[in-house]
Structure 1
Amino acid sequence: MADRDPPFYVGYLKLPRGLKGFLVAVLLILAVGDIALAVLVFGAQRPHATGDWGAGGEVAFVGQFQAKPYPLLRLFATGGAPAHAVLLVGEGKVGAPAGLDDLDGAMVEVRGYPIRRGDLIVLQLDQVPVRQDGSRMDPLPVAASEPATLEGEVVDSKCYAGAMNPGEGKAHEACGSFCLYGGIPALFVARADDGALRWYLMAAPDGGPIGDEARALVGRRVRLAGTVSRGDGLAIFSVAPDRLAAN
Protein backbone atom coordinates (compact mmCIF):
# COMPACT_ATOMS: atom_id res chain seq x y z
CA MET A 1 0.00 0.00 0.00
CA ALA A 2 1.50 3.35 -1.04
CA ASP A 3 2.15 6.05 1.57
CA ARG A 4 -0.29 8.87 1.58
CA ASP A 5 0.93 12.13 0.09
CA PRO A 6 1.87 14.74 2.71
CA PRO A 7 -0.63 17.60 3.09
CA PHE A 8 -0.03 20.49 0.73
CA TYR A 9 -1.34 24.00 1.34
CA VAL A 10 -2.77 26.08 -1.50
CA GLY A 11 -3.60 29.66 -0.61
CA TYR A 12 -7.10 29.73 -2.07
CA LEU A 13 -8.09 26.31 -0.63
CA LYS A 14 -9.03 25.27 2.87
CA LEU A 15 -6.09 24.52 5.18
CA PRO A 16 -5.41 20.75 5.25
CA ARG A 17 -6.12 19.12 8.60
CA GLY A 18 -2.62 17.67 8.79
CA LEU A 19 -1.05 21.12 8.82
CA LYS A 20 -3.20 22.65 11.55
CA GLY A 21 -1.35 21.07 14.46
CA PHE A 22 2.02 22.01 13.01
CA LEU A 23 1.00 25.64 12.49
CA VAL A 24 -0.47 25.94 15.98
CA ALA A 25 2.79 24.63 17.46
CA VAL A 26 4.87 27.06 15.39
CA LEU A 27 2.68 30.01 16.37
CA LEU A 28 2.93 29.10 20.07
CA ILE A 29 6.71 28.85 19.84
CA LEU A 30 6.92 32.22 18.08
CA ALA A 31 4.61 33.86 20.62
CA VAL A 32 6.63 32.55 23.58
CA GLY A 33 9.86 33.61 21.85
CA ASP A 34 8.53 37.12 21.21
CA ILE A 35 7.45 37.50 24.83
CA ALA A 36 10.81 36.28 26.11
CA LEU A 37 12.67 38.63 23.76
CA ALA A 38 10.51 41.58 24.83
CA VAL A 39 11.19 40.83 28.51
CA LEU A 40 14.94 40.62 27.87
CA VAL A 41 15.01 43.88 25.90
CA PHE A 42 12.89 45.66 28.51
CA GLY A 43 15.15 44.45 31.31
CA ALA A 44 18.24 45.68 29.47
CA GLN A 45 16.92 49.25 29.21
CA ARG A 46 18.34 51.82 31.59
CA PRO A 47 15.58 53.39 33.69
CA HIS A 48 14.93 57.06 32.97
CA ALA A 49 15.14 59.44 35.88
CA THR A 50 11.82 60.97 36.83
CA GLY A 51 10.91 64.17 38.60
CA ASP A 52 8.08 65.35 40.81
CA TRP A 53 5.73 67.81 39.09
CA GLY A 54 3.54 69.76 41.48
CA ALA A 55 2.50 66.72 43.50
CA GLY A 56 1.97 68.93 46.53
CA GLY A 57 -0.03 71.59 44.69
CA GLU A 58 0.76 75.28 44.29
CA VAL A 59 3.66 76.71 46.27
CA ALA A 60 5.06 80.19 46.86
CA PHE A 61 8.68 81.31 47.07
CA VAL A 62 10.04 84.69 48.16
CA GLY A 63 13.50 85.65 47.00
CA GLN A 64 15.60 87.92 44.85
CA PHE A 65 14.64 88.06 41.19
CA GLN A 66 17.42 87.68 38.63
CA ALA A 67 16.65 88.49 35.00
CA LYS A 68 19.73 86.99 33.31
CA PRO A 69 20.66 84.69 31.77
CA TYR A 70 17.06 83.52 32.25
CA PRO A 71 14.43 84.69 34.76
CA LEU A 72 15.00 82.95 38.08
CA LEU A 73 14.62 83.40 41.81
CA ARG A 74 17.56 83.33 44.20
CA LEU A 75 16.69 81.94 47.62
CA PHE A 76 18.93 82.94 50.49
CA ALA A 77 20.31 80.40 52.95
CA THR A 78 18.01 80.26 55.99
CA GLY A 79 17.59 77.98 58.97
CA GLY A 80 20.26 75.56 57.89
CA ALA A 81 18.86 75.29 54.35
CA PRO A 82 21.45 76.22 51.71
CA ALA A 83 20.99 79.00 49.19
CA HIS A 84 19.22 77.86 46.06
CA ALA A 85 17.96 78.96 42.66
CA VAL A 86 14.47 78.43 41.26
CA LEU A 87 14.20 78.59 37.47
CA LEU A 88 11.00 80.22 36.20
CA VAL A 89 8.97 79.05 33.20
CA GLY A 90 5.50 79.43 31.77
CA GLU A 91 2.86 76.86 30.91
CA GLY A 92 3.72 74.68 27.94
CA LYS A 93 6.93 75.07 25.96
CA VAL A 94 7.59 78.70 26.88
CA GLY A 95 9.77 80.50 29.36
CA ALA A 96 8.76 83.10 31.93
CA PRO A 97 6.64 86.04 30.70
CA ALA A 98 8.45 88.86 28.92
CA GLY A 99 8.82 92.31 30.47
CA LEU A 100 10.25 91.28 33.83
CA ASP A 101 13.63 93.01 33.52
CA ASP A 102 12.50 95.88 35.79
CA LEU A 103 12.31 93.37 38.65
CA ASP A 104 16.00 92.51 38.40
CA GLY A 105 17.48 92.65 41.88
CA ALA A 106 14.14 93.13 43.66
CA MET A 107 12.58 90.88 46.26
CA VAL A 108 9.53 89.19 44.74
CA GLU A 109 7.03 86.47 45.48
CA VAL A 110 6.42 83.83 42.84
CA ARG A 111 3.64 81.25 42.80
CA GLY A 112 3.19 78.14 40.72
CA TYR A 113 3.75 74.44 40.45
CA PRO A 114 7.27 73.15 41.10
CA ILE A 115 9.01 70.49 39.06
CA ARG A 116 11.82 68.91 41.05
CA ARG A 117 14.65 66.58 40.15
CA GLY A 118 17.34 66.28 42.77
CA ASP A 119 18.48 69.79 43.65
CA LEU A 120 16.92 71.27 40.49
CA ILE A 121 13.68 73.24 40.97
CA VAL A 122 11.76 74.63 37.99
CA LEU A 123 8.61 76.58 38.81
CA GLN A 124 5.77 76.78 36.27
CA LEU A 125 4.30 80.17 37.08
CA ASP A 126 0.55 80.67 37.38
CA GLN A 127 0.92 84.44 37.85
CA VAL A 128 3.60 87.05 37.24
CA PRO A 129 6.10 87.67 40.07
CA VAL A 130 4.89 90.21 42.63
CA ARG A 131 7.35 92.78 43.96
CA GLN A 132 7.54 92.78 47.74
CA ASP A 133 8.87 96.32 48.15
CA GLY A 134 10.45 99.10 46.12
CA SER A 135 14.02 98.39 47.16
CA ARG A 136 16.74 96.73 45.14
CA MET A 137 19.41 94.50 46.56
CA ASP A 138 22.95 93.81 45.52
CA PRO A 139 23.31 90.63 43.48
CA LEU A 140 24.24 87.55 45.41
CA PRO A 141 28.01 87.01 45.38
CA VAL A 142 29.41 85.06 42.45
CA ALA A 143 32.90 83.67 42.26
CA ALA A 144 35.19 84.74 39.42
CA SER A 145 34.72 82.79 36.20
CA GLU A 146 37.11 79.93 35.62
CA PRO A 147 37.90 78.23 32.29
CA ALA A 148 36.20 74.86 32.02
CA THR A 149 35.68 72.12 29.46
CA LEU A 150 32.66 69.95 30.17
CA GLU A 151 31.36 66.84 28.47
CA GLY A 152 27.66 66.18 28.64
CA GLU A 153 24.33 67.14 27.13
CA VAL A 154 22.32 70.29 26.47
CA VAL A 155 18.76 69.94 27.81
CA ASP A 156 15.81 72.19 28.48
CA SER A 157 15.36 72.59 32.21
CA LYS A 158 11.60 72.03 32.37
CA CYS A 159 11.51 68.64 30.69
CA TYR A 160 14.76 67.52 32.32
CA ALA A 161 13.32 68.32 35.75
CA GLY A 162 10.40 65.98 35.13
CA ALA A 163 7.82 67.55 32.83
CA MET A 164 8.65 64.86 30.25
CA ASN A 165 10.04 61.36 30.59
CA PRO A 166 12.61 60.98 29.22
CA GLY A 167 13.61 64.63 29.33
CA GLU A 168 17.02 63.97 27.85
CA GLY A 169 18.76 61.88 25.21
CA LYS A 170 18.01 61.30 21.54
CA ALA A 171 14.33 60.52 22.20
CA HIS A 172 13.89 64.05 23.55
CA GLU A 173 15.75 65.89 20.80
CA ALA A 174 12.78 67.51 19.02
CA CYS A 175 10.88 68.38 22.19
CA GLY A 176 13.96 69.88 23.84
CA SER A 177 14.71 71.98 20.77
CA PHE A 178 11.18 73.44 20.78
CA CYS A 179 11.41 74.20 24.51
CA LEU A 180 14.67 76.11 24.08
CA TYR A 181 13.11 77.99 21.16
CA GLY A 182 10.26 79.01 23.47
CA GLY A 183 12.62 80.48 26.06
CA ILE A 184 12.85 77.65 28.59
CA PRO A 185 16.20 77.94 30.42
CA ALA A 186 18.92 75.79 28.90
CA LEU A 187 21.03 73.53 31.09
CA PHE A 188 24.24 71.66 30.48
CA VAL A 189 24.25 68.34 32.35
CA ALA A 190 27.65 66.76 32.96
CA ARG A 191 28.89 63.89 35.09
CA ALA A 192 31.27 64.92 37.85
CA ASP A 193 34.35 63.03 38.96
CA ASP A 194 32.33 61.32 41.70
CA GLY A 195 29.90 59.94 39.10
CA ALA A 196 27.02 62.23 40.07
CA LEU A 197 25.23 64.38 37.49
CA ARG A 198 25.71 68.12 37.81
CA TRP A 199 23.61 70.73 36.04
CA TYR A 200 24.79 74.16 34.94
CA LEU A 201 22.60 77.02 33.77
CA MET A 202 23.88 77.95 30.30
CA ALA A 203 24.61 81.53 29.27
CA ALA A 204 26.30 83.57 26.58
CA PRO A 205 29.55 85.37 27.45
CA ASP A 206 27.62 88.66 27.81
CA GLY A 207 25.47 87.14 30.54
CA GLY A 208 22.35 86.70 28.41
CA PRO A 209 20.67 83.51 27.15
CA ILE A 210 22.67 81.30 24.82
CA GLY A 211 20.40 81.76 21.80
CA ASP A 212 19.37 79.35 19.07
CA GLU A 213 22.81 77.85 18.55
CA ALA A 214 22.37 75.37 21.40
CA ARG A 215 19.17 73.91 19.94
CA ALA A 216 21.15 71.88 17.43
CA LEU A 217 23.05 70.19 20.27
CA VAL A 218 20.04 68.82 22.15
CA GLY A 219 20.08 65.03 22.38
CA ARG A 220 23.78 64.76 21.53
CA ARG A 221 26.80 63.99 23.67
CA VAL A 222 29.08 67.02 23.26
CA ARG A 223 32.24 68.50 24.71
CA LEU A 224 32.15 72.27 25.19
CA ALA A 225 34.74 74.79 26.33
CA GLY A 226 33.73 77.93 28.20
CA THR A 227 33.81 79.39 31.69
CA VAL A 228 32.02 78.42 34.90
CA SER A 229 31.01 80.91 37.58
CA ARG A 230 29.54 79.72 40.86
CA GLY A 231 27.28 81.66 43.19
CA ASP A 232 25.18 80.66 46.17
CA GLY A 233 23.21 77.66 44.91
CA LEU A 234 23.82 78.31 41.21
CA ALA A 235 26.54 77.44 38.69
CA ILE A 236 26.53 79.14 35.27
CA PHE A 237 28.32 77.69 32.26
CA SER A 238 29.04 80.43 29.70
CA VAL A 239 29.79 79.31 26.15
CA ALA A 240 30.47 81.49 23.11
CA PRO A 241 28.10 80.96 20.15
CA ASP A 242 30.95 79.94 17.85
CA ARG A 243 31.85 77.16 20.26
CA LEU A 244 28.30 75.85 20.03
CA ALA A 245 28.27 76.07 16.25
CA ALA A 246 31.54 74.13 16.02
CA ASN A 247 29.83 71.06 17.39
Structure 2
Amino acid sequence: MNEFYVGYLPKAPAGISRRIRAVVIALLVIAVAGAFTFASVQRTFVPAMFEYGKVRSFEGIIERKPFPTLLVKRPGSADSGSSHYLLVAEGKHGADDEVSAFEGKSVRLKGTLIYRGNQTMVEVVKGSIAVAGSAEALPATAKTLGVFELSGEIVDGKCYLGVMNPGSGKVHRDCAARRVSGGAARNGQDTWSFRAQW
Protein backbone atom coordinates (compact mmCIF):
# COMPACT_ATOMS: atom_id res chain seq x y z
CA MET A 1 0.00 0.00 0.00
CA ASN A 2 1.32 3.49 -0.93
CA GLU A 3 1.79 6.08 1.79
CA PHE A 4 -0.44 9.12 1.58
CA TYR A 5 0.01 12.41 3.45
CA VAL A 6 -3.10 13.81 5.10
CA GLY A 7 -2.67 17.38 6.31
CA TYR A 8 -4.94 17.21 9.33
CA LEU A 9 -3.26 14.15 10.84
CA PRO A 10 -0.70 14.87 13.63
CA LYS A 11 2.20 13.03 11.87
CA ALA A 12 3.15 12.26 8.30
CA PRO A 13 3.78 8.63 7.38
CA ALA A 14 7.33 7.40 8.20
CA GLY A 15 8.48 7.07 4.56
CA ILE A 16 7.38 10.58 3.63
CA SER A 17 8.96 12.01 6.82
CA ARG A 18 12.31 10.38 5.95
CA ARG A 19 12.27 11.76 2.38
CA ILE A 20 11.32 15.28 3.55
CA ARG A 21 14.03 15.19 6.24
CA ALA A 22 16.65 14.10 3.66
CA VAL A 23 15.60 16.85 1.22
CA VAL A 24 15.70 19.56 3.94
CA ILE A 25 19.16 18.43 5.14
CA ALA A 26 20.45 18.34 1.54
CA LEU A 27 19.11 21.87 0.90
CA LEU A 28 20.76 23.16 4.10
CA VAL A 29 24.11 21.58 3.12
CA ILE A 30 23.86 23.12 -0.38
CA ALA A 31 22.99 26.55 1.11
CA VAL A 32 25.93 26.48 3.54
CA ALA A 33 28.36 25.25 0.85
CA GLY A 34 27.06 27.92 -1.54
CA ALA A 35 27.55 30.66 1.08
CA PHE A 36 31.14 29.55 1.78
CA THR A 37 31.90 29.30 -1.95
CA PHE A 38 30.44 32.74 -2.63
CA ALA A 39 32.43 34.29 0.24
CA SER A 40 35.69 32.63 -0.83
CA VAL A 41 35.59 33.95 -4.41
CA GLN A 42 35.08 37.59 -3.36
CA ARG A 43 37.96 39.99 -3.87
CA THR A 44 39.75 40.89 -0.67
CA PHE A 45 40.13 44.52 0.34
CA VAL A 46 43.46 46.21 -0.21
CA PRO A 47 45.44 46.96 2.95
CA ALA A 48 44.28 50.54 3.54
CA MET A 49 43.66 52.30 6.84
CA PHE A 50 41.89 55.33 8.27
CA GLU A 51 42.88 55.81 11.91
CA TYR A 52 39.50 57.29 12.79
CA GLY A 53 39.48 58.98 16.19
CA LYS A 54 43.26 58.66 16.64
CA VAL A 55 44.65 62.19 16.38
CA ARG A 56 48.43 62.44 15.96
CA SER A 57 50.89 65.33 15.87
CA PHE A 58 52.95 65.96 12.74
CA GLU A 59 55.81 68.31 12.01
CA GLY A 60 57.10 69.33 8.61
CA ILE A 61 57.10 71.96 5.90
CA ILE A 62 53.93 72.98 4.07
CA GLU A 63 53.96 72.81 0.28
CA ARG A 64 50.79 74.18 -1.30
CA LYS A 65 51.20 73.37 -5.00
CA PRO A 66 50.09 71.29 -6.78
CA PHE A 67 48.23 69.97 -3.73
CA PRO A 68 48.49 70.80 -0.02
CA THR A 69 51.30 68.58 1.24
CA LEU A 70 53.33 68.23 4.41
CA LEU A 71 56.99 67.44 3.72
CA VAL A 72 58.18 65.33 6.64
CA LYS A 73 61.82 64.45 7.21
CA ARG A 74 62.21 60.69 7.19
CA PRO A 75 63.11 59.43 10.67
CA GLY A 76 66.63 58.03 10.85
CA SER A 77 67.41 59.10 7.29
CA ALA A 78 70.83 60.64 6.69
CA ASP A 79 69.90 62.06 3.29
CA SER A 80 67.86 65.19 2.70
CA GLY A 81 64.86 63.22 1.46
CA SER A 82 61.40 63.73 2.83
CA SER A 83 58.07 61.94 2.81
CA HIS A 84 55.09 63.70 1.26
CA TYR A 85 51.83 63.55 3.22
CA LEU A 86 48.84 64.91 1.31
CA LEU A 87 46.68 67.20 3.46
CA VAL A 88 42.89 67.36 3.44
CA ALA A 89 40.28 68.97 5.65
CA GLU A 90 37.52 67.11 7.42
CA GLY A 91 34.62 65.91 5.31
CA LYS A 92 34.79 66.26 1.54
CA HIS A 93 36.98 69.38 1.52
CA GLY A 94 40.50 70.23 0.50
CA ALA A 95 42.96 71.83 2.92
CA ASP A 96 43.83 74.84 0.71
CA ASP A 97 42.24 77.36 3.07
CA GLU A 98 43.87 75.77 6.13
CA VAL A 99 47.43 75.79 4.70
CA SER A 100 47.49 78.96 2.56
CA ALA A 101 49.03 81.14 5.30
CA PHE A 102 51.74 78.56 6.04
CA GLU A 103 53.20 77.87 2.59
CA GLY A 104 56.94 77.17 2.81
CA LYS A 105 56.95 77.32 6.62
CA SER A 106 57.90 74.70 9.16
CA VAL A 107 54.73 73.81 11.06
CA ARG A 108 53.22 71.52 13.65
CA LEU A 109 49.73 70.22 13.08
CA LYS A 110 47.32 67.63 14.37
CA GLY A 111 45.46 65.20 12.20
CA THR A 112 44.28 61.70 11.49
CA LEU A 113 46.35 59.37 9.33
CA ILE A 114 44.96 57.80 6.16
CA TYR A 115 47.21 55.45 4.21
CA ARG A 116 47.37 52.78 1.54
CA GLY A 117 50.66 51.16 0.62
CA ASN A 118 53.25 53.92 0.42
CA GLN A 119 50.68 56.70 -0.07
CA THR A 120 49.85 58.77 3.01
CA MET A 121 47.30 61.48 3.71
CA VAL A 122 46.51 63.47 6.85
CA GLU A 123 43.02 64.77 7.65
CA VAL A 124 43.97 68.03 9.39
CA VAL A 125 42.17 69.04 12.57
CA LYS A 126 40.72 72.50 11.91
CA GLY A 127 42.80 75.28 13.47
CA SER A 128 45.62 72.98 14.59
CA ILE A 129 48.34 74.28 12.23
CA ALA A 130 50.96 76.43 13.97
CA VAL A 131 54.40 77.69 12.93
CA ALA A 132 57.10 75.47 14.46
CA GLY A 133 60.33 77.19 13.49
CA SER A 134 62.10 79.17 10.83
CA ALA A 135 62.99 76.32 8.48
CA GLU A 136 62.61 77.12 4.82
CA ALA A 137 60.93 74.91 2.30
CA LEU A 138 62.95 72.23 0.64
CA PRO A 139 63.78 73.27 -2.92
CA ALA A 140 61.28 71.89 -5.38
CA THR A 141 62.74 70.08 -8.34
CA ALA A 142 60.09 70.35 -11.02
CA LYS A 143 60.84 69.10 -14.49
CA THR A 144 58.74 69.10 -17.62
CA LEU A 145 57.72 65.65 -18.75
CA GLY A 146 55.94 66.79 -21.90
CA VAL A 147 52.35 66.29 -22.94
CA PHE A 148 50.86 62.84 -22.78
CA GLU A 149 47.48 61.20 -22.43
CA LEU A 150 46.48 59.18 -19.40
CA SER A 151 43.46 57.04 -18.85
CA GLY A 152 42.26 56.20 -15.40
CA GLU A 153 39.62 56.83 -12.83
CA ILE A 154 38.98 60.01 -10.87
CA VAL A 155 38.72 58.81 -7.29
CA ASP A 156 38.00 60.41 -3.96
CA GLY A 157 41.51 60.49 -2.52
CA LYS A 158 40.35 59.98 1.06
CA CYS A 159 38.18 57.00 0.18
CA TYR A 160 40.81 55.48 -2.10
CA LEU A 161 43.59 55.73 0.48
CA GLY A 162 41.60 54.14 3.28
CA VAL A 163 38.57 55.99 4.60
CA MET A 164 36.38 53.53 2.69
CA ASN A 165 37.18 50.18 1.20
CA PRO A 166 37.42 49.42 -1.72
CA GLY A 167 37.46 53.21 -2.34
CA SER A 168 37.25 52.97 -6.12
CA GLY A 169 34.97 51.68 -8.84
CA LYS A 170 31.33 52.28 -9.63
CA VAL A 171 30.13 52.58 -6.04
CA HIS A 172 32.52 55.47 -5.37
CA ARG A 173 31.83 57.65 -8.41
CA ASP A 174 29.59 59.88 -6.32
CA CYS A 175 32.33 60.22 -3.67
CA ALA A 176 34.75 61.34 -6.38
CA ALA A 177 32.23 63.89 -7.68
CA ARG A 178 31.68 65.29 -4.15
CA ARG A 179 35.44 65.40 -3.56
CA VAL A 180 36.08 67.29 -6.81
CA SER A 181 33.32 69.79 -6.02
CA GLY A 182 34.76 70.21 -2.50
CA GLY A 183 38.18 71.16 -3.86
CA ALA A 184 40.26 68.27 -2.61
CA ALA A 185 41.22 66.93 -6.01
CA ARG A 186 41.42 70.08 -8.07
CA ASN A 187 44.38 72.37 -8.68
CA GLY A 188 43.37 75.56 -10.45
CA GLN A 189 40.95 74.98 -13.30
CA ASP A 190 42.61 72.39 -15.50
CA THR A 191 44.65 69.94 -13.45
CA TRP A 192 43.05 66.97 -11.74
CA SER A 193 44.26 64.26 -9.42
CA PHE A 194 43.39 60.77 -10.55
CA ARG A 195 44.57 57.22 -10.30
CA ALA A 196 45.93 55.80 -13.54
CA GLN A 197 46.52 52.18 -14.38
CA TRP A 198 49.35 51.46 -16.79
**TM-score normalised over the length of structure 1:** 0.61
Cα distance change, pair 203–99 in 1 and its aligned pair in 2 (3 A): closer
Moved over 6 A (4+): none
2:181 aligned partner, one-letter code: Y
- 1:66 is aligned to 63
Cα distance, 1:53 vs structure 2: 2.9
| 1:17 and 2:12 correspond | yes
Contact 1:112 1:126 in 2 (8 A): yes
Cα distance change, pair 99–122 in 1 and its aligned pair in 2 (3 A): closer
Taking the TM superposition and a 5 Å limit, the aligned residue runs for 1:1-247 are: 3-4=1-2, 6-7=4-5, 17-18=12-13, 19-54=16-51, 57-76=54-73, 78-80=77-79, 82-96=81-95, 98=97, 100-128=99-127, 129-133=129-133, 137=137, 139-184=139-184, 186=185, 203=187, 210=192
Q: How many residues align?
A: 193
Task: Flag structure 2 segments of 5+ consecutive residues without an equivalent.
Answer: none
CA RMSD of aligned residues (A): 3.6
Cα distance, 1:85 vs structure 2: 1.2
The answer to which of 81-90 and 108-117 deviates more is 81-90
Please state whether the residue corresponding to 1:22 is helix, strand or coil: helix
What CA distance in whole angstroms lies between the structure 1 residues aligned with 2:36 and 2:9?
36
What CA distance in whole angstroms lies between the structure 2 residues aligned with 1:183 and 1:8?
71
Task: Flag structure 1 segments of 5+ consecutive residues without an equivalent.
Answer: 187-201, 225-247
Contact 1:50 1:161 in 2 (8 A): no
Cα distance, 1:49 vs structure 2: 0.5
Cα distance change, pair 171–39 in 1 and its aligned pair in 2 (3 A): farther
Cα distance change, pair 70–8 in 1 and its aligned pair in 2 (3 A): farther
The answer to which of 168-177 and 108-117 deviates more is 168-177
Cα distance, 1:133 vs structure 2: 4.8
1:17 aligned partner, one-letter code: A
What CA distance in whole angstroms lies between the structure 2 residues aligned with 1:175 and 1:56?
21
Cα distance change, pair 165–206 in 1 and its aligned pair in 2 (3 A): closer
Contact 1:59 1:114 in 2 (8 A): yes
